[in-house]
Structure 1
Amino acid sequence: MKAVIKLVPLALAMAACLPAKAWNTETHRQIVLDAVQFMKTHPNQTKYAKLLAGVNKAGYTMDQFAAAIGQGAHDVDYFQDTYLCGATTGNCQTSPAWGAGSDLARYTSYWHFQSHTHGADVHGNDFGGYNYQKMNNAGDIDTLAATWLVNDYLDDGPGNMGGWFGDSSKYNSYGITEARYRQGSYSTRAMYEDYQAFPFQPIDNLGQYFFSRFLQAPSAQTLGFVLHTTDLLQPHHTFGTLANNHSGWENWVTDYYNSEKLNDPALVLAALADFTPLAANATDIRAMLTQGGTYSYKYGGAVLSSSDHAVRRGVAKKMVPHSIALVVRLLDRAAERMAI
């Protein structure tokens, strides 16, 4: 009975606060739609004409294309590609037992960070992903998660790491998901043996993986996956924390997105200057993605310590226009590929 009394509050607390999605899924969709609309109304500052030609060549209307890439940006939060396995049971799941089947806590979201609070990671990336062991801004939810998942391991396929009483490998997240997001860096299974020390790969590697796939075989869905990297403009994801008003800030942005005019085209136009345009033949987008992460780390930290409406509005008026501008820059490069 004592164990039940102890665990239920922990699960409830995590269920209320854990989502690490950065921008809410509908905010991701809206950012993409606003980027396409901005390009349409600013053809001289963007490659809208070339994008439209490529879209029409692919058999889409621009509205259909915008909806498809917006859906792709939304869908990344729902990937079923990351299984963590119990240190004792060896049972592998995509979310905690109390969050299964809900939007609350999918382990795939841990790949959506680029921490600027410490230097290069053990993989060799300039900025690593979520890593509780290296965290300078750990909050209650970070600690709760580390307590809940202590010594759990990343599913690395049958016959490798396992729990005390077995190994119910279901996907080989190390050999598939982590390998995809490795992008030239270095990893070992041992790095993912204990959750509290996992050095998750950063989100810019996720974006690079899907951008490479887009260059190989252009599709609206794959391009949409790339555009999920606007998570870099959500400050919690560059400060590397699940806590510190993380969920409340995301919900605030969704609730006030329209009424506070966070997508103001004048702010988007100004934000474009903070992103170096990609060359027409560029194959690596990570430097530009890091520009977004650097901006959110420099100017977004106030929302980690304050839930004041004015403070949030001030930060959001920077982060959302920069998110839209980042998508515009990525679509400018995509237009070159689609025009081929």
Structure 2
Amino acid sequence: MKIRTLCAAGLVLFGASAHAFTQETHRRIVLDAVEYMKANPDTTNFKKLQSGAQRAGFTIDQLAQALGQGAYDVDDFEDTYLCGATTGNCQMAPVWGLGAAIVKYTSYWHFQNHGAGHDQHGNDFGGYNYNKLTVWGDIDNMAASWLYGDYLDDGPGGLKGWFGDGSKYNSYSLTEKNYRLGGNSSPEMYADFEKMPFQPLDNLGQYWFQQFLTKPTLQSLGFVMHTTDLLQPHHTWTTSALNHSGWEGWVNDYYDREKLNESSLVTAALKSYTPLKPTDTDIRPLLTQGGAISYSRGGAVLSSTDHATRLGVAKVVVPHAIAMVVHLLNRAAERL
């Protein structure tokens, strides 16, 4: 990924060359969260957010665009390779992915399964694990059949296919380690795709928030904002199928036409969360609250494509996604 860097006053702005909510929806949610804060400076931490941007030589709109780009870019990560059980050849996407809503294997880190509870890593809610899905469909089954026995790339000399070891990245010791956050893992847990316990999305968000606290960059903070996938019901019911891509496309298409970002809905949604304290370093409780909202109130879109049904769910989950970002930015403004 090509990156250009602008830095001033200790704050670094990264811009990357360039599904879950579509990538554009991820961007819009972040932009609307900043706009909400701008319109409500007395009830949000907007003044500190703006001051942090100004000290670094950026306008608030430049800050918003950079954060939105970071949220957008997470779907483009090239950090997860699965390797063939027979060939040992490692790839970052299935050959049929573009036609089946699985573009890259990195998307498997973008779930939090509220139907299965804790996982073998020690997380309160696990991530995608085909063996523990409570709902599933054609794309889940296609992946599990196509990738049966395939393993997560764990570097040269690790797990192997029958005819070789084609390691390209060592996703286990890099990506999985980043999202492990002190939990229990072993390469053997990732030896067969159909039983792989992928780390949950809140761990991805927590990892990048830790990076932001250590060295504040708009790129790492933007990556945190991709956790609005927790307000996408398919990511908490946990399935790649059941109208997954169709629903996300619908949200993108009707985002403005149906005013899914209506300010009064965001104001109400903010009350659904326990706000982060100015010194909080673990944002996972807030993220999990967002996941609980989509799981409890969004399941209808897995079985229905009716416009009214989708609109009813969207009027809940999109404002709550924007509200979750506002809470994250209220906390992040203390570090900018």
Name the TM-score, length of structure 1 as normaliser: 0.92
State the partner residue of 1:328: 326
Contact kept, 8 Å, 2:101 with 2:245, in 1: the verdict is no
Mapped partners of 1:216, 1:103: distance in 2: 35
What is the Cα deviation at residue 299 of structure 1?
Answer: 0.3
The amino acid across from 2:240 in the alignment is L
Mapped partners of 1:154, 1:245: distance in 2: 27
Mapped partners of 2:98, 2:316: distance in 1: 35
What is the Cα deviation at residue 97 of structure 1?
Answer: 2.6
Contact kept, 8 Å, 2:101 with 2:240, in 1: the verdict is no
Mapped partners of 2:54, 2:274: distance in 1: 27
Equivalent residue in structure 2 for 1:265, among 246, 263, 266: 263
1:83-107, Cα deviation, whole Å (9 max, x unpaired): 0000000000110134489985200
Mapped partners of 1:77, 1:109: distance in 2: 7
Mapped partners of 1:241, 1:101: distance in 2: 16
Mapped partners of 1:222, 1:97: distance in 2: 30
What is the Cα deviation at residue 295 of structure 1?
Answer: 0.6
The amino acid across from 1:144 in the alignment is M
Mapped partners of 1:97, 1:155: distance in 2: 17
State the partner residue of 1:316: 314
Mapped partners of 1:201, 1:56: distance in 2: 36
More helix by share: 1
Q: Relative to structure 2, which stretch is displaced further, 268-277 or 94-103?
A: 94-103
1:238-249 alignment, distance < 5 Å: 238-249=236-247
What is the Cα deviation at residue 138 of structure 1?
Answer: 1.3
Mapped partners of 2:101, 2:125: distance in 1: 27
State the partner residue of 1:141: 139
Q: Does residue 249 of structure 2 align to residue 255 of structure 1?
A: no
CA 100–294 in structure 1, closer or farther in 2 if over 3 Å, else same: closer
Equivalent residue in structure 2 for 1:297, among 295, 298, 302: 295
Equivalent residue in structure 1 for 2:88, among 87, 90, 94: 90
State the partner residue of 1:4: none
CA 324–55 in structure 1, closer or farther in 2 if over 3 Å, else same: same
CA 103–64 in structure 1, closer or farther in 2 if over 3 Å, else same: farther
State the partner residue of 1:63: 61
Aligned length: 318
The amino acid across from 2:21 in the alignment is W
Mapped partners of 1:140, 1:203: distance in 2: 23
1:1-340 alignment, distance < 5 Å: 21-99=19-97, 104-338=102-336
Q: Relative to structure 2, which stretch is displaced further, 123-132 or 136-145?
A: 136-145
Moved over 6 A (4+): 100-103
Mapped partners of 2:56, 2:88: distance in 1: 46
The amino acid across from 1:36 in the alignment is V
What is the Cα deviation at residue 135 of structure 1?
Answer: 0.6
What is the Cα deviation at residue 148 of structure 1?
Answer: 0.7
CA 100–321 in structure 1, closer or farther in 2 if over 3 Å, else same: closer
The amino acid across from 1:24 in the alignment is T
Contact kept, 8 Å, 2:151 with 2:159, in 1: the verdict is yes
The amino acid across from 2:127 in the alignment is G
CA 102–68 in structure 1, closer or farther in 2 if over 3 Å, else same: farther
What is the Cα deviation at residue 184 of structure 1?
Answer: 1.7
The amino acid across from 2:42 in the alignment is N
Mapped partners of 2:58, 2:259: distance in 1: 29
Mapped partners of 2:126, 2:40: distance in 1: 35
1:223-267, Cα deviation, whole Å (9 max, x unpaired): 000000000000000001011110110000000000000000000
Q: Relative to structure 2, which stretch is displaced further, 21-30 or 100-109?
A: 100-109
CA 101–61 in structure 1, closer or farther in 2 if over 3 Å, else same: farther
Q: Percent identity?
A: 64
State the partner residue of 1:18: none
What stretches of structure 1 of length at least 5 have no aligned partner?
1-20
What stretches of structure 2 of length at least 5 have no aligned partner?
1-18
SS at structure 2 position matched to 1:97: coil
The amino acid across from 2:25 in the alignment is T
1:268-309, Cα deviation, whole Å (9 max, x unpaired): 000000111111011000000000001110000000010000
